[in-house]
Amino acid sequence: MSKYTVAGLVSWLFSALLLGFQAIAAFMKMEDQMVWKSLTLLDFLDEGHLTWIDGISRGTLHTVIHFIVTMPLYLLLFFIGILFFIMNRLTTRR
């Protein structure tokens, strides 16, 4: 296995674990209804580290970066794993 395959599998593993822990946490807090809280990069990073996003002009790049920072972390890890698998496929020569 190449390093890209291992990185993709690890990313998918962390994505599945995070999704599982979020589901368990949602079921544990069930009083009248289930409450789902998705974790994002904003939950882990200090707001001071993300002020550079506001400096980007309002355009496609700003929209894409804002979308990536605010998307659920388990989805971000899943798509990063897909990117690693694509990189593995592109770097292997047969």
Is the pLDDT assigned to residue 48 strictly greater than 70? yes
The reply to whether the predicted model has a pTM over 0.95 is no
Is residue 29 helix, strand or coil? coil
Q: How confident is the model at residue 46 (pLDDT cuts 50, 70, 90)?
A: confident
Distance CA 50, CA 91 (A): 32
Distance CA 39, CA 21 (A): 11
Q: Where are the domains of the chain?
A: 3-91
What share of the chain has pLDDT > 70, as a percent? 90
Distance CA 6, CA 27 (A): 32
